Structure 1
């Protein structure tokens, strides 16, 4: 029985399986290089293109070649005055006549991939996914909007396309030879002239002939309608699914005196990264900035990050302001609500319990996800980085984290910690059980 092998998709002298394995290896190398570059570079550079070097090792495709130490071969090398039979000809780069100096040898990184902004972000966010990204009702119910999709032979009378209908009618009348009105008018004019002249045998015969022709043309005009149902065309509209998932991101930050420029800079980088992540998954994303000391207020981005304010620290005021804004502008039935809070952990002594009440009471039921990032001193990272000990706010939020799976909290001490923490917060997770 004959065996057919389909190689139509294979390029010349290439094997498709090997080629796909090479692309998979290259993709993993690209992802690793992007992660290294972003980890060691500035976070703002994530939103730009990158040139990624691709190491030569492991990128070549498997090939078959003759074993030089087996078999018998005879070669005729014209112009040879150096070697005699039995000599081994050295390869370039291995010494001898063909060796090259270290300065002109091929480098380890043979080529580079120049990645655009979108490609960089795709690689970086490939294995990240916000838990419970879109609500269940938004996954099951889609909004549709009509999109022009040509013409149809059936439809609503309000959707008749007059131009296309008349073009079809005109083409059909020409093809079937429907008599035109000027032809009938010409025959009627001739009949009127003949009937006004004295009758004779020839005139009467001409009148009969013209009347028969007039009747034939009128019958044909009636059989071939000016506009036939087969000519009518309607505008066709296909329903196009429209993502109706909208997200709002609340940025909460302490701006009291304990939050210096270093702390604000780290918070801003985390907020920028989270906002960038959300905008790639929702068609519409809004951002709300709430800053607080002993009182909270909604501000613009410039005021949020750069304007100073004096006062104590009462975190619950920011949570209350967030709840008020949600009730006024962002109903949970229409918006996916995300919150990111940055603080150094400082809070009024008796206010942490109030924060727990606000989160347990309503906010965590409204939020898709709540991320709390506590910014600590670099000198304290080896003490508090892997322990549950910390400020009163950290201990209070630990109780919230135990009850609500959509609440996560981490510590940040330096810019290099932001990406690992971000990946921990938003890494793919198994389906989380709903809290009681």
Structure 2
């Protein structure tokens, strides 16, 4: 019997090719499972992949087998009831007990589902295949990774131009002290002893000569200690640090008045998640600003943004004004790529809609890369929709879409960010 031992240096990822074949083969089923899993995520959660399940009926392989009918001769082990020539009655059609179990589980996965984990990169690739950011050609330079040189301590190797004189002399002094301190102390003792013998009449001349020779030998050893050695040299160390030039900010604006129920907010959340995940594929540093509004606007965290509810009317311009103020203070347009996404059910004071048009036309749209507005409602459109439609005709970085139910979110998102014909 042959034994095969894998002695490759890198034994990891050996099934990568098979995995890619599997994903390509069942891409439609996997993409559907991935798009359905968006709702369970936080807006800024991109650190992990996703666990997806595919019904086993969708991954069945073609097989060859004998059809029903015909004469078959078989030997059944353990037979104690039949003899040769007995005829066995065929079981009724549909009476067999299959091994499958179609019962649903409380985790949303059927017992006949094939469940596996996909990585973060695979998740994003499947979710945003064939999509791109509009107007990106205006900002290609901001996608380059830039580096900044900064001091990073000292090193033993380097070029002469980077020698640190103070550190090198300090090392030289420490080395000379370590190598000659004992000799200098011994030299001082011998000199004192020699002086004492020379001042004493009748001292032994041979002892005096021996001391002089030892003193001379110590002085030669001390003199041989170099003032500076290559071991003492220290160089300034410099390292590269990435400059976050590829940075963007995503403004999320949402109406939280009494007309916006939780189901509508959940649909808006799915859209914001898709937009955030999509932007992270282009920008390394992405910040999110949440602005909720009814008659007044306020910057909040993610939980309050999606789950708080207010009563009263709706003034959309308050959110646009606050967004512009935050952008001017914290996110200069020459340093940040600005994106905005607004979700609403279309309610707004009729007198406020022209004010929204003016704010977007003069202050916001000239600065943002892309402004997307989704209206989540089954009712007829109101004044806000008509003003935004007029802006869409005037600006190519303004997009307006209508969502009626949760199933419309992903198709609408793909429509907003589909690749433009060259």
TM over 0.5: yes
Counterparts of 1:215 and 1:24, CA distance in 2:
80
Q: Given the alignment of the two structures, is residue 157 of structure 1 paired with residue 161 of structure 2, yes or no?
A: no
Picking from 290, 294, 303, the partner of 1:288 is 290
Structure 1 unaligned spans of 5+: 1-7, 59-90, 385-389, 432-436
Residues 50-199 of structure 1 mapped to structure 2, 5 A cutoff:
50-52=51-53, 55=59, 113-115=116-118, 120-121=123-124, 123-125=126-128, 128-131=131-134, 135=139, 138-139=142-143, 142=146, 144=148, 146=150, 148=152, 151=155, 152-153=157-158, 154=160, 155=162, 157=164, 160=167, 165=171, 169=175, 180-199=183-202
For residues 206-256 of structure 1, what are the alpha-carbon distances to aligned partners after superposition, in whole Å with 9 as ceiling and x for unaligned? Answer: 434433443343234233225435422235231222324443322222334
Picking from 403, 418, 422, the partner of 1:412 is 403
1:404 Cα shift? 2.4
1:339 Cα shift? 1.0
Structure 2 residue matching 1:130: 3-state secondary structure: coil
1:148 Cα shift? 4.0
1:57 Cα shift? 5.3
1:181 Cα shift? 2.4
2:338 matched residue in structure 1: 337
Structure 1 vs Structure 2 CA RMSD: 4.6
Q: Given the alignment of the two structures, is residue 37 of structure 1 paired with residue 41 of structure 2, yes or no?
A: no
Counterparts of 1:119 and 1:346, CA distance in 2:
39
Structure 2 residue matching 1:367: 3-state secondary structure: coil
1:424 matched residue in structure 2: 415
Change (3 A) 1:322 1:207: same
Q: Is the 8 A contact 1:178 1:224 kept in 2?
A: no
Q: Given the alignment of the two structures, is residue 398 of structure 1 paired with residue 399 of structure 2, yes or no?
A: no
For residues 69-116 of structure 1, what are the alpha-carbon distances to aligned partners after superposition, in whole Å with 9 as ceiling and x for unaligned? Answer: xxxxxxxxxxxxxxxxxxxxxx996698799x99579xxx99764235
Counterparts of 1:427 and 1:45, CA distance in 2:
23
Change (3 A) 1:312 1:178: closer
Structure 2 unaligned spans of 5+: 1-6, 77-95, 101-111
Counterparts of 1:245 and 1:41, CA distance in 2:
28
Structure 2 residue matching 1:345: 3-state secondary structure: coil
Counterparts of 1:256 and 1:346, CA distance in 2:
9
Change (3 A) 1:158 1:211: closer
Aligned length: 366
For residues 231-287 of structure 1, what are the alpha-carbon distances to aligned partners after superposition, in whole Å with 9 as ceiling and x for unaligned? Answer: 222352312223244433222223344433332221233224434444563435131
Scaled by the length of structure 1, what TM-score is found?
0.66
Counterparts of 2:220 and 2:144, CA distance in 1:
59
Change (3 A) 1:159 1:330: farther
Structure 2 residue matching 1:309: 3-state secondary structure: coil
1:371 Cα shift? 1.0
Q: Is the 8 A contact 1:352 1:396 kept in 2?
A: yes
Change (3 A) 1:374 1:156: farther
Scaled by the length of structure 2, what TM-score is found?
0.67
Structure 2 residue matching 1:366: 3-state secondary structure: coil
Residues 304-323 of structure 1 mapped to structure 2, 5 A cutoff:
304-323=305-324
Counterparts of 2:278 and 2:323, CA distance in 1:
21
Change (3 A) 1:178 1:419: same
Counterparts of 1:159 and 1:417, CA distance in 2:
69
Residues 327-366 of structure 1 mapped to structure 2, 5 A cutoff:
327-366=328-367
1:70 matched residue in structure 2: none
Change (3 A) 1:52 1:259: closer
